[in-house]
Structures are given as C-alpha cells and as structure tokens.
Amino acid sequence: MNKTLRPVESAHGTFHITDVYPSVDGGRFPIKRIAGEPVEVWADIYRDGHDVISAALVWRHVGDDAWQTAPMTPHSDDRWGGSFVPDRPGRYSFAIEAWTDEFASWRHRFEQKQRDGCDHTLDAVEGAGMLTQAQAGGPAAAAVIIRQCEIFLQTGEPGALLAPELRDAMAGSQFRRDLMRSQLYPLTADRPRARSGAWYQMFARSQGKTPGVHATFGDCIARLPDIAAMGFDVVLLAPIHPIGQTHRKGRNNAAIAQPGDPGSPYAVGSAEGGHDAVHPELGALDDFRAFVAACQSHGLEVALDFAVQCSPDHPWLTEHPDWFKRRPDGSMRTAEHPPQHWDDVVNPDFGSEDATALWRALRDVVLFWVEQGVKIFRVDNPHTKPLAFWAWLIREVQDRDADVLFLSEAFARPKLMKGLAKLGFTQSYTYFTWRTQRVELEQYLGELTSYPERDFFRPNFFVNTPDILPFHLQSGESWMFKSRLALAATLSSSYGIHSGFELLEHTPVPGREEYLNSEKYEIRVRDWDQVGNIKPYVAALNRIRRGNPALQQFANMRFINVDDGGVIGFVKEAADQGNVIVAAIALSSEPREVWLPLGDVMVGRGEARRPVAELEDLITGERHALEWGGIRLHLDPARDPALLLRCIA
C-alpha cells in the first residue's frame, strides 16, 4: 500500500541552531558570569540551500520586558559568534535568532549572474521591488533605501541596488518571514566578589584577650585592622547565635560539658533565641551592625555561617514541633551520620506536612541577616538537605537582592557537589585540601577548568577549616604552610584560611585530621603576633593577588612542564591577556634549580601580542631575561616555596 507524504505545514524550523556555547546540561541550568563583563556566545547555525543567513543574540534581565539584541557574525564552518554584556547582577535569559536575509541573498545571486554574463534585467526589477517592501529600520536606513530606489527608477542602472550602504540599510529593514529563535538559555550574573576574594574564617567568641572570657563584637572590631593588614576581603564568622544547653558538648567534643564550657555554636538556639538572634555574650544586634560597619570601613565584607540545624532548646521545637522527627518512643531524633552522632543537634524535617512554612522560615532567616548588611552566606553541609530547597531559597533571596552570594560547604561526592553549584550556589568548597602531589593537583585543576565545569563551578580553596587539619600540616613546618597558602591563593581566584593558620597551629587529635582543643568546643585566646607567624607572607600573597588580574580569575590557566616532579608550574592570564603570571611552587622542602619553559607564553591582545622577554619577581622585584625559550631559577622552600613572576614583553 502506498503511503502519502504529508506536506510541510510551515517554513519555520528551516534553521538548525546547535552546539550552543556556553550552556550547562543543554540549558537546564544557568551559566555563571560577572555583571559588566562580556559574555561570548557561539553556535553552529545552518540551513538548506544557498541563501544568506543572518543571526543575532537576544537577551534580557528577568525583571525587564524588552529584549536587547546584538549581531552574530559567521566564522568558519557555519560557526557563529557574538557577545553581550549583562549590565547588573541578577538572572538573565538569552537566545539565538536566525533568519534569511532575502535582500542579501538576492544581491549574491545578482552579482553571480553579472559575473557570468547572464541577462539580469528581471533580477534588477525584483531587487527594486524588495526595496518597496522594506520595513521601518529607522530614519537613516529609510532615507538610504528611498534614495537608492529613486536612482534605480530614474537611471535603470543596477549599480544603485548594489551600493554597500543599501546592503547595510536593508539588513535591518526587512520582514523576517522565516525568523527562528532557539530555546532560552539561563545565565546568572554576579558581582565581582563571586569570582575572587580572600576569606578569613574565625569564631567571634575567640577574638578577646583574656583566657576563658567570651569575646564581644567590640573585641572582634579590635581585630579588624590586623585582618585587613593581611589583605583579606571577607571575614567569615562561625554561627553567632545563642547556643543550646541540652546535651551541650564539652572540650574536644566531650559528651558531657563541664561548668563554663561554651558548647558548639553549631548547636543553634536556646531560650535567648534562634537563627535570627545574637548570642548574648557577643552583644546585641546593634553591636553586630556596628561590626558590619567597621568591616566596611576596613574594606572587608562579612560572611555568616548558615547552619540549618537546631539545638534541642531552639524555640522552633516548641513553636513548630511538626518541623522535627521523633523516634518511636516519642524522643527527639538527633542528628547523626554513622559512626558520628551529635545529640546536641536536631535537624528539621523537610518532609513534614508543614514543610512549606519551614522553607519560608529559613528563607526569612537569611533575609533578616541581609537586612543587617550581610551579603555572603557559607552554608554548612548543604548536601544533607533537599536540593530543591536550595534552588528555591537561593532564587527567593537573590530575586530580592542579587548581590547576595552563597558558598556551599559540601565535602561530598563530586557530582553532588557540582549539582549544588548548578542549582545556584555561587561558590563551592573543593577537594583541594587533600590534593598534595603534582599529578593530583594538575588532574583536579584540569577537571575544574574544563567545560562545562568552568561555566558553573566556582571553587574556593580553603587550606584548613575548623573541622579539618590536614595531615600534611600536622608537622608544623613553615615551608609547608606557605606552600599550601601559595597554592590556594594562586591556583584559585577565591581561597580561605581558618584563624590560627597564620600562627602555624598544627596540634591534631592523634591519628585524625582534626584540631586538638578545637575552637568548636572552647574559647581560644591567642597572641596574634607570636614568634614564627607567617602574617607578612599572607599579606604579600594577597597584595600580589590584588595587583594582578590574572590571579583574580580561575579558568584561564595552563600547567607548564617543569623539569622537577617536586615543583608545580603554571601560567595564568587576565581576561584581556595584558597581565600574565607564571608561578612555580615547591611541593617538597629541598632547595632546587628549576627550568621553566616559557617560549610559547605571550603577553598582550591582538596585534600587540608579543612573546615574553623577561620576568619580574613579584616578591623581590628582581627582573630575569629569558634565554633559549625559558629561564632557570633557584627555589629555596625554607625561604619561600613559591616563585611568582610577572611576564613582560
């Protein structure tokens, strides 16, 4: 039996718009960029036949009605490129439009017939007729079209139809009868702090000067000049809320607290209040606002730890008992992750019948602190809460204030960590803390700087945390602390330390990657200027970071083949390629001579791009000329495990 083919119902869909870059999971999740900087977009655009194609980018902020547009230009093999600039932080959508430029197609056919010596009289009439059908492309374009049409009608000379200015005028003045738009692709544009920053994490209660005495926000303000002098951008506070009494932990996570033990600030909530309250010994809410203002005066931002968990004494357990799970005997189900068990903490039940109210309450907590001047939140263990909740909360908050940033503190399975970043977290913790060998670092950085990870995953390299004292720091060797600091500060555009790192604190719980006498369970008082500290080294690294845009970005880097397995070398370029930094960092303590092959390193953009001629040592100021496509330098980890060199053409 013969089958009758159905006719094509429409000319739409003629174009194929494929292999769109940038996109994450085919446009399911937003790419991340910085507001005010160009976003390059590429796509394969083609159709059947020989007609001339035109294409454009269209984009808009989610709060805008009108679409903006920018042209795309063809490159080789049907690959088209264009760019646009998201002018402010927030969520955007962009798409690609393609259509047939009918006048350009006519012009191409007409010129071909002229070259072939064919009769083109009717073709000229056809082209003139297209001018009479032109749509409004603006007064200037209309004037050109009318003038050229009149010239042709008066003279009959086809040259009037081939004028370059008419081609340009007609390009934007035709009805696009086969216009096709691609799917929409989401984009999140953030402020620059989302990409780059140096973080200093501390417990507010440990910033005093008297042993055993709880510090106040006034004491924290007194510490700010020291933190600012080290060149940090963000002060990250562990939870500052009232701490529960029930099952309070003692020193070194002892199951039973002794009189005077302050407990863990991650057991949030007591009779004095919950997540929207300040621990009374720190001060009042006005004192916290004064701390935020003092940070701003020192060029610092405040980040708060957002721990979605409660002490058994949290007001919510009384006010909203349905938000929490109970065991068969009626007792509260406390937090646990076998073999660990935390009976001083209970987790909200995101599957409760009143979950909608719970979600809104947690959102309102974040918005409350935003009102107090906090625009950055480190989220504790987000991977243990529903992913849909974080996608909702981040959007709810950022729709109200697009400057708010979220750091995911998730040491979990790699795809889960990346999934949290796709859902909206601005930055993410990483496995850098445990990557110590050259091959491990190169492989891990290769993964994070590849596509599509570089378009949605912004890593923040913390060298230590209140929970983690890595084994490689437990010897307390100064060169190792400096090496890890230099790696974090230069490999990533965002990095952080927990207070005490600058003092080389390194006493572990035997056999574990944890601090003995951890600040999580007691108040610590330190001499911040004690002998042996590396504060000047921290300050020098942060000064170099601020002075070199190449170190304020993450993706434009490549490793170089240093002739020593105990040294890692890499090159980083600023977006405009005008600032190029070479780094060589020792991974072991022995002095060595290293050869850096740099013959293919260039500086500058476009025609101004030149091979590197010499290197400036950013620590000493010395200059070294390249010879035979590279340079041999001495590296003494005991003095400084890192060579940081600016390339000069």
Catalytic residue ranges: 380, 409
Q: Which two tokens stand for residue 352?
A: 């409760």
- Could you give the CA distance from residue 188 to residue 86 in angstroms, rounded to a whole number? 9
344 annotated ligand binder: yes
- Could you give the CA distance from residue 626 to residue 597 in angstroms, rounded to a whole number? 9
- Could you give the CA distance from residue 33 to residue 56 in angstroms, rounded to a whole number? 20
543-546-548 Cα angle (round to 5): 105
The secondary element (H helix, E strand) that includes residue 116 is helix 102-116
535 annotated ligand binder: no
Which residues are CB-contacts of 4 (< 8 A; sequence separation ≥ 6)? none
| Cβ(295)–Cβ(303) below 8 Å | no
Which residues are CB-contacts of 333 (< 8 A; sequence separation ≥ 6)? 324, 325, 326, 327, 346, 347
- Could you give the CA distance from residue 4 to residue 268 in angstroms, rounded to a whole number? 72
Q: Cα separations (Å) of 638 from 505, 544, 587, 592, 642? A: 18, 20, 12, 11, 10
549-405-289 Cα angle (round to 5): 105
Q: For residue 557, list its beta bridge partners.
A: 572
Question: What is the phi/psi pair of residue 243, to 5°?
Answer: -110, 135
- Could you give the CA distance from residue 69 to residue 95 in angstroms, rounded to a whole number? 10
The secondary element (H helix, E strand) that includes residue 65 is none
309 annotated ligand binder: yes
- Could you give the CA distance from residue 184 to residue 27 in angstroms, rounded to a whole number? 7
Of 153, 165, 155, 167, nearest in space to 108 by CA: 167
DSSP state of 514: S
Q: Which two tokens stand for residue 205?
A: 């209660």
Strand order in the sheet with 623-625: 557-560, 567-573, 580-586, 642-648, 614-617, 623-625
* Total Cβ atoms within 10 A of residue 52: 16
| Cβ(489)–Cβ(539) below 8 Å | no
381 annotated ligand binder: yes
Q: Which two tokens stand for residue 293?
A: 């203002």
- Could you give the CA distance from residue 92 to residue 228 in angstroms, rounded to a whole number? 35
| Cβ(53)–Cβ(29) below 8 Å | no
Quickly tell me which residue has 């101004």 as its tokens: 608
The secondary element (H helix, E strand) that includes residue 423 is helix 414-423
Using DSSP bridges, classify how beta strands 31-34 and 185-190 pair: parallel, antiparallel or unpaired: parallel
The secondary element (H helix, E strand) that includes residue 44 is strand 39-46
Q: Cis (ω within 30 of 0) for the bond into 192?
A: no
DSSP string, 293-304: HHHHHTT-EEEE
Of 162, 339, 346, nearest in space to 244 by CA: 346
- Could you give the CA distance from residue 591 to residue 593 in angstroms, rounded to a whole number? 7
Q: Which two tokens stand for residue 82?
A: 């264009």
DSSP alpha helix (H) spans, 211-310: 217-229, 285-297
N-term to C-term CA, the chain: 75
Q: Which residue ranges are tagged as binding site for alpha-maltose 1-phosphate?
A: 249, 309, 344, 381, 520-521
Q: Which residue ranges are tagged as binding site?
A: 249, 309, 344, 381, 520-521
